[in-house]
Chains A and B, each alone.
Chain A
């Protein structure tokens, strides 16, 4: 192998896989590499056979962490692993270039790319920041003609990108776009039309512009391979007759998630034609006004649900007419996943429904179900693993129908809980502590007390003790989001006990740089750190120098950082890209007083240095 390849690989291994400098320097020399100056001898027959065997064995290995470990054994294993890895996951699209991907992995069938950091979801990032899919589709179109599956999260995807994708991969089977934007119904139409092997087309929480294209009609005639079709985020009407015909000619369809332009009557027609569905997004779940006045006999919705014997996942309810909700009763006992988070359901309507849902494992809802509703969940859903309660009125001073009462009830009833996201107006340390004690399986704890700096509403004390209890008692915790009034003490507890935490979200919390130091010095597994509006400054940032190479990214906005310290980091860590920018995309002609002030810092490790597509408002230090 040529010298450059070796050092490239070594760099890959070092940075991407968090290894110490290459083992080859210290290991016993093996046959496949001598000194780096001469090219290695051609592999002899034995090693060919071994590689062959290895290739066949590695085909069974799917987990990327296992594969990363395998690739570290020696160069031969590295090479074979690279040739057999068919699913590639890239957690930050700017951590490497598409060219590098194509060089290392030769037979990729499935690509998962993540783009913008999560805080971009909340309008904290100016538009046109980047994370374009275009360079990736251009490279993979040539490198992986047999690509079958693409999953993108928070990427900017254009119609042209989708057209190129549809044209380049004849065997393309699965497209999943999560929280993406930049494309419209015309791009979707091309994919529907050109990808003849398409099994999965899932548009989830993405922004899809309405190009006034009837994309449903663009699916080719004849039987399709469709197994999953999700378009509940598409905010434009669809051609229902075409959808009905599509469903009829898709015998393998298991998951169908319609958008809010599908009425209850239309849903009924679909269900009758597809009783084999396992997952259903119910669209508006209200009667279209056209039918309301005609006095026609209403379809028997309950029996349509009864006929769907395999239905385990329900979502939608975008414009719920509550009087129809009981129609789902026949399937309640089978449901493992319910998403009511777009439906304003009151406790009285909710309780009779949830009473039958003994098998629910994933439950998302609005806080309109109130503490009462949560108590009902706690009483019935003993298998609950994941709970998400979103605010109906997402503002700081709204009523707040859920509180520590509901949280505590859940903790007492749902002992197997692993993941929780809970929005509320007020909380107590007692309730949070109770959850830490009752739910030892928690891996994800995200509590959002919507009032900034709000203390425990009973004692008036900071929420330090509650979050402290969480990190102390939940020994499997890997993801934590904190809120409410928090002092540096909370962070010292997180640093002390949060040894497995990989993702940490902080907002409006802490007193001083010490808070940041505690985290950076204490949490060895930390990969993703996102902080906003907290009094952490240069000293805190500097204290993490030893960590940034091992982290996927750090986001700090509206903190107390200066350009100087960010430049220092950039200088000291050449493999970390340090971006600073403001929250508007205006040119940064800032007043001189604030010229040194960093509004947003976003830094991430990268194998290929600073990106070339950064917009003007982004400064890469």
Chain B
């Protein structure tokens, strides 16, 4: 096995889903070369919104909203309030090349993580929602909801119905409508039975069943 045969082998293989090619030049999104004459007191001449003398920290940038997702734990409260501020603030001032001196490898990794968590959070887990008797389907983004109660409220508002109360044993009680979903295996399941995270991962589409078909979901199988 030599280099050329390995390369040949590679070209016949099916493509991997991930083909991440790094280039060392400037993967960091915000930068500009700073010529020496700009070296003098950038802050005084900088244009920005806000009253003069306000703090530099927390200038608006997309990444703060990303890091809001990525951060866990106690730090969240602090960040959330600053995120609120930054959403309407102007973009941050341009970054200097190579400053702070963090290797692009580290920045890339953090970026990748942020992009991924950003996409996990708001990548749009769109699923179709149908309701028996309704003429058209709707689509909702599951990732917008934090749990079942939010989801159900949204569905109820969207289709103008009431799902009734959920009981672990009996399913939904008090309504002729039953919210169900089709999972990865093609089975129709009752919404609410599995943990939310699992639901989000396995749900393919939603269906709000009505009437006699719905009743079948009320019993223990």
Q: Cβ of B36: which chain A residues have Cβ within 8 Å of it?
A: 533, 558-560, 597
* Interface residue A4 (Cβ < 8 Å from any Cβ of B): no
> Chain A nearest CB: distance from B183 CB in Å?
8
Q: B22 touching A235 by the CB < 8 A rule?
A: yes
User: Provided the pairs A344-B71, A391-B102 are in contact, do residues A236 and B18 lie with their beta carbons within 8 angstroms?
Assistant: yes
A398 to B56: give the CA distance in the assembly, Å.
Answer: 9
Number of interchain pairs (Cβ within 8 Å): 188
Q: A507 touching B95 by the CB < 8 A rule?
A: no
Q: B56 touching A205 by the CB < 8 A rule?
A: no
Give residues 85-106 of B contacting A (CB, 8 Å).
92-93, 95-106
Interface residues on B, range: 35 or more
A400 to B34: give the CA distance in the assembly, Å.
Answer: 24
Give residues 186-206 of B contacting A (CB, 8 Å).
194, 197-198, 201-202
> Which one of B56, B82, B97, B202 has the greatest number of beta carbons of chain A within 10 Å?
B97
Give residues 164-211 of B contacting A (CB, 8 Å).
183-184, 194, 197-198, 201-202
User: Which residue of chain A lies nearest to B97 when distances are taken between CB atoms in the complex?
Assistant: A123
User: Which residue of chain A lies nearest to B55 when distances are taken between CB atoms in the complex?
Assistant: A397
Q: Cβ of B212: which chain A residues have Cβ within 8 Å of it?
A: none
User: Provided the pairs A122-B103, A397-B58 are in contact, do residues A186 and B10 lie with their beta carbons within 8 angstroms?
Assistant: yes
* Interface residue B49 (Cβ < 8 Å from any Cβ of A): no
A370 to B75: give the CA distance in the assembly, Å.
Answer: 9
Q: A186 touching B3 by the CB < 8 A rule?
A: yes
* Interface residue A70 (Cβ < 8 Å from any Cβ of B): no
Q: A207 touching B197 by the CB < 8 A rule?
A: no
User: Which residue of chain A lies nearest to B35 when distances are taken between CB atoms in the complex?
Assistant: A558
Interface residues on A, range: 35 or more
User: Which residue of chain A lies nearest to B11 when distances are taken between CB atoms in the complex?
Assistant: A212
Q: B15 touching A212 by the CB < 8 A rule?
A: yes
Among the listed A293, A322, A400, A450, which residue makes an inter-chain contact with B201, where contact means beta carbons less than 8 Å apart?
A293
Q: A395 touching B92 by the CB < 8 A rule?
A: yes
Q: A348 touching B98 by the CB < 8 A rule?
A: no
Q: A207 touching B22 by the CB < 8 A rule?
A: yes
User: Provided the pairs A394-B102, A394-B110, A396-B95 are in contact, do residues A236 and B13 lie with their beta carbons within 8 angstroms?
Assistant: no
Q: B71 touching A368 by the CB < 8 A rule?
A: yes
Q: A212 touching B16 by the CB < 8 A rule?
A: yes
User: Which residue of chain A lies nearest to B43 when distances are taken between CB atoms in the complex?
Assistant: A453
Q: B95 touching A395 by the CB < 8 A rule?
A: yes
* Interface residue A609 (Cβ < 8 Å from any Cβ of B): no
Select the stretch in A91-99, A187-195, A568-576 that faces chain B. A187-195
* Interface residue B221 (Cβ < 8 Å from any Cβ of A): no
> Chain A nearest CB: distance from B221 CB in Å?
16
> Chain A nearest CB: distance from B69 CB in Å?
10
Give residues 63-121 of B contacting A (CB, 8 Å).
63, 67, 70-75, 78-79, 82, 92-93, 95-107, 109-110, 113, 116
A397 to B17: give the CA distance in the assembly, Å.
Answer: 36
A510 to B25: give the CA distance in the assembly, Å.
Answer: 29
Q: Cβ of B24: which chain A residues have Cβ within 8 Å of it?
A: 123, 127, 181, 207
Q: A397 touching B106 by the CB < 8 A rule?
A: no
Q: A121 touching B104 by the CB < 8 A rule?
A: yes
Q: B20 touching A193 by the CB < 8 A rule?
A: no
* Interface residue B134 (Cβ < 8 Å from any Cβ of A): no
Among the listed A123, A189, A236, which residue makes an inter-chain contact with B20, where contact means beta carbons less than 8 Å apart?
A236
Q: B10 touching A124 by the CB < 8 A rule?
A: no
Q: Cβ of B11: which chain A residues have Cβ within 8 Å of it?
A: 212
Q: A210 touching B16 by the CB < 8 A rule?
A: yes
User: Provided the pairs A127-B25, A399-B57 are in contact, do residues A218 and B6 lie with their beta carbons within 8 angstroms?
Assistant: yes
User: Provided the pairs A163-B2, A186-B6, A190-B2 are in contact, do residues A452 and B96 lie with their beta carbons within 8 angstroms?
Assistant: yes
> Chain B nearest CB: distance from A289 CB in Å?
6
Q: A292 touching B197 by the CB < 8 A rule?
A: yes
Q: B10 touching A211 by the CB < 8 A rule?
A: yes
Among the listed A187, A210, A347, A451, which residue makes an inter-chain contact with B74, where contact means beta carbons less than 8 Å apart?
A347
* Interface residue A417 (Cβ < 8 Å from any Cβ of B): no
A210 to B16: give the CA distance in the assembly, Å.
Answer: 10
Q: Cβ of A392: which chain B residues have Cβ within 8 Å of it?
A: 67, 110
> Chain A nearest CB: distance from B13 CB in Å?
6
User: Which residue of chain A lies nearest to B108 when distances are taken between CB atoms in the complex?
Assistant: A235
Q: A397 touching B56 by the CB < 8 A rule?
A: yes
Give residues 499-534 of A contacting B (CB, 8 Å).
507-508, 532-533
Bits for A382-415, please: 1 = Cβ < 8 Å to B, else 0: 0000000011111111111100000000000000
A479 to B80: give the CA distance in the assembly, Å.
Answer: 39
User: Which residue of chain B lies nearest to A162 when distances are taken between CB atoms in the complex?
Assistant: B3
* Interface residue B136 (Cβ < 8 Å from any Cβ of A): no
> Which one of B16, B17, B100 has the greatest number of beta carbons of chain A within 10 Å?
B100
User: Which residue of chain B lies nearest to A451 when distances are taken between CB atoms in the complex?
Assistant: B56
* Interface residue A159 (Cβ < 8 Å from any Cβ of B): yes
* Interface residue A119 (Cβ < 8 Å from any Cβ of B): yes
* Interface residue A143 (Cβ < 8 Å from any Cβ of B): no
> Chain B nearest CB: distance from A422 CB in Å?
12
Bits for A170-205, please: 1 = Cβ < 8 Å to B, else 0: 000000000101000011011001100000000001
* Interface residue B51 (Cβ < 8 Å from any Cβ of A): no
User: Which residue of chain B lies nearest to A124 when distances are taken between CB atoms in the complex?
Assistant: B98
Q: Cβ of B198: which chain A residues have Cβ within 8 Å of it?
A: 292-293, 295
* Interface residue A77 (Cβ < 8 Å from any Cβ of B): no
Q: Cβ of B194: which chain A residues have Cβ within 8 Å of it?
A: 293, 295
* Interface residue A564 (Cβ < 8 Å from any Cβ of B): no
- Pull 6 A–B residue pairs with CB atoms less than 8 Å apart, ordered by A: A207-B105, A213-B10, A395-B63, A397-B57, A452-B99, A532-B98
Q: A123-B31, A393-B110, A399-B78 are in contact. List 9 more A-B contacts (CB 8 A).
A: A119-B98, A194-B1, A212-B19, A236-B19, A295-B198, A349-B72, A394-B110, A401-B75, A558-B34
* Chain B residues in the interface with A (C-beta under 8 A): 1-3, 6-7, 9-11, 13, 15-22, 24-26, 28, 30-31, 33-34, 36, 39, 56-59, 63, 67, 70-75, 78-79, 82, 92-93, 95-107, 109-110, 113, 116, 183-184, 194, 197-198, 201-202
- The 7 A-B residue pairs whose C-beta atoms are closest, nearest first, are A346-B73, A122-B98, A293-B202, A394-B102, A163-B3, A450-B100, A348-B73
